[in-house]
Amino acid sequence: MIVSVLLAALLLIGLYVASHRVGGVQAIVALAVLACGIVLVVFPGLTSAIASTLNVGRGTDLLLYFAVICGLFLAAHFYFRFKRQDATMTELVRAIALRGVMPDGPPPSLASRDEFGGSAAS
Amino acid sequence: MPVGVRFVTGGTSGLWVIVPAYNEESAIGGTLAGLRPYMPNVLVVDDGSSDRTGRIARRRGAIVLRHVANLGQGAALQTGIDAALAWGARMVCTFDADGQHDVGAIARMVDMQRQSGADVVLASRFLSGQARIPPVRRFVLGLALKFTRMQTRLSVTDTHNGLRLLTREAAKRIRIRQNGMAHASELLSEIAAKRLSYVEVPSTVTYTRYSLRKGQSVFDSVKILFDIVYAAWSR
């Protein structure tokens, strides 16, 4: 039962990725990961066998380590991407704010903004 | 001119007051009403406010530049500095929108700059012996101070005061990259790194109920501490 659920989930992820027209390397990596997933679901003893040859105890431990490493990589990847995008957005927003502000140009005319001038009361 | 706003060594020509503002509709009017009679050049950087901050500021005689999205106070200050420099500012003064600063302090800072020739004049709440700083705020500011002193080796007494005066030269050399509140310690780091000279002048801060609610919750204080460590780490 659980096996069919897991396989269905993996296939759905595969379809989801495929529907986004991913390019060469990404498609190959995605396919490889999904294929590994299917193999490991169909042959549950395999992870334990690999784990024991690598001296990491149970198969679940091996998967956990793998998941943690992937998670950390993703966190770092998205953190730096976020920082880059943040810098880009700052530049964009600032450029829009500074439209019409020319180097050595005059400040906006005082006349248009002085209706409440020096005698502004609260 | 009322008591307190009096320049000893000259006027306000070439001085631009930069007021970063985010959703300050209930305070910006009063702040500008205090500033505009004495400061001809007031630039409000509306940091993507969703309220009437920009409209009110314009009506009160300020020049307003608007960020189409909210970036943070640091980003707003840098945008304001860029504009003021383009308009030929000889000095820029940063001034909080919530009305906690006193206009007279600007005059004292300009005088101080002209007398001392320092690149940067910083206002300090702690030089004035101001006793009425809320305890939690005082504690957090103390921690922020120790950390920033350690990091920048500047012997400043107040690291998170929004009131500062920069000469044109200093404003050109300093670049604020921390969009959020971490810009306050970043600015000090820049002063240290670019070997700019600075002096501090005492200033009091008026903690109104509004400014306390707006910027000074315990959560925000914790955030400032986090930002400082973050800024130090991400340099």
Evaluate whether residue A117 is within a structural domain.
no
Question: Could you report the per-residue pLDDT of A63-114, keeping only the tens digit for each?
Answer: 899 999 999 999 999 999 999 999 999 999 999 999 988 877 777 755 444 4
Claim to verify: residue A71 and residue A96 sit in the same structural domain: yes
Chain B hits for A97, CB-CB cut-off 8 Å, are: 45, 65-68, 79
Give the residue with greater pLDDT, B29 vs A24.
B29
- Residues above pLDDT 70, as percent of chain B: 82
Evaluate whether residue A53 is within a structural domain.
no
Chain B hits for A89, CB-CB cut-off 8 Å, are: 69, 71
Q: Please state the rounded mean pLDDT for residues B173-197.
A: 89
Evaluate whether residue A52 is within a structural domain.
no
Q: How many domains does chain A have?
A: 2
Q: Please state the rounded mean pLDDT for residues B207-220.
A: 60
Show the domain range for A2.
1-43
Q: Would you tell me which residues 75-114 of chain A have a C-beta closer than 8 angstroms to some C-beta of chain B?
A: 86-87, 89-90, 93-94, 96-98, 101-108, 110, 113-114
Q: Please state the rounded mean pLDDT for residues A3-9.
A: 90
Evaluate whether residue A120 is within a structural domain.
no
Claim to verify: residue A68 and residue A39 sit in the same structural domain: no
Residues of B engaging A, defined by a Cβ cutoff of 8 Å = 29-30, 32-33, 36-37, 40-41, 45, 48, 58-63, 65-69, 71, 75, 78-79, 82-83, 86-88, 177, 179
Yes or no, beta carbons of A120 and B67 under 8 Å apart: no
Show the 3-state SS of B38-90.
CCCCEEEEEECCCCCHHHHHHHCCCEEEEECCCCCHHHHHHHHHHHHHHCCCC
Evaluate whether residue A96 is within a structural domain.
yes
Chain A hits for B183, CB-CB cut-off 8 Å, are: none
d(CA B205, CA A83): 34
Evaluate whether residue A88 is within a structural domain.
yes
User: Does domain B15-233 match CATH 2.40.50.100?
Assistant: no
Task: Average the pLDDT over each of B5-14, B129-138, B174-183 and give the range with the smallest value.
Answer: B5-14
pLDDT at A111: 41
Q: Please state the rounded mean pLDDT for residues A26-37.
A: 88
Yes or no, beta carbons of A101 and B75 under 8 Å apart: no
pLDDT at B128: 67
How far off is chain B from A73, nearest CA to CA, in Å? 18
Closest chain A residue to the Cα of B83, Cα to Cα: A101
Evaluate whether residue A51 is within a structural domain.
no
Average pLDDT of chain A, as a whole number: 83
Q: Has residue B137 got a pLDDT over 50?
A: yes
Claim to verify: residue A35 and residue A66 sit in the same structural domain: no
